[in-house]
Structure 1
């Protein structure tokens, strides 16, 4: 199945979003380019966290050239929210920042004793 300017070309199975929502996947389906049928887990987590209607609105409001990045970001944030419902990506970033701070402190101590 080819994609041209955000529209599906040719036949094939419905996208992951339409399959999960149990609806017919239209040729101009806003979800199809970003949630392919062979990766249903991606849309499932996005739908669970954000809801299909909100994702639809968000994608429709963005220029086409930014939708792919938004789709990937939604998947990343949804997966982070499934792991950490309260903080999501911010929790992961905070944890990594604490690790960086601790390692920088250890490095400064090690360099001071050279």
Structure 2
């Protein structure tokens, strides 16, 4: 038996790569630690995109501590190429970048709207002539004013809300 990524595998059960390639899985098989027999599609996609010979060469040229990351990258790219044969992972990255751009634009618009609302509230506060807590001085007849309400309509696309200030 040989040790492989935290579990034992007998010589009778080849790794996914050797199983797909229909060859005997040697004790020192470079694929075995990264393509276990219970994940055949993982190697099938990598083989389809890169070819077993190229994957073998790439893994042999890397130090062992970097091979796991290299296999993860190859699996990601291979899966992306199977889903999108033309653009692969570049298509996914481009789509995510477009989402980031759209969200950053939306955030900037929302932040500008907050600044605008704060300025309007500040202007209303200065028009009333004091704090916006509803406490107004009595008029010339000694009668306190009724609490005044001002409504500010925010009319933006996809947003309609009223900011109430006193």
- TM-score, with length taken from structure 2: 0.63
Question: Structure 1: how far apart are the matches of 2:81 and 2:9?
Answer: 33
- Equivalent residue number for residue 84 of structure 1: 84
Residues 16, 36 of structure 1: 8 Å contact kept = yes
Cα distance in 2 for residues equivalent to 1:100 and 1:12: 49
2:11 is matched with which residue? 11
8 Å contact kept, 2:11–2:25: no
The structure richer in strand per residue is 2
Unmatched 5+ residue regions in structure 2?
115-166
Map 1:1-114 onto structure 2 (within 5 A): 1-3=2-4, 10-114=10-114
* Residues 15, 76 of structure 1: alpha-carbon distance in 2 compared, 3 angstrom cutoff: same
| Partner SS state of residue 86, structure 2 | coil
1:23 & 1:94 partners in 2: Cα distance?
39
Highest CA radius of gyration, 1 or 2? Answer: 2
Do the aligned partners of 2:81 and 2:88 also contact (CA within 8 Å) in 1?
A: yes
Alignment partners' CA distance in 2, 1:17 and 1:52: 8
User: What's 2:123 paired with?
Assistant: none
Mapped to 1, the partners of 2:10 and 2:44 lie a distance apart of 24
Higher helix share: 1
CA RMSD of aligned residues (A): 1.7
Deviation at 1:10, TM superposition (A): 4.9
Asked if structure 1 preserves the Cα contact closer than 8 Å seen for 2:13 and 2:37, the reply is yes
How many residue pairs match? The answer is 111
Contact kept in structure 2, 1:81 and 1:88, CA below 8 Å: yes
* TM-score, with structure 1 as normaliser: 0.90
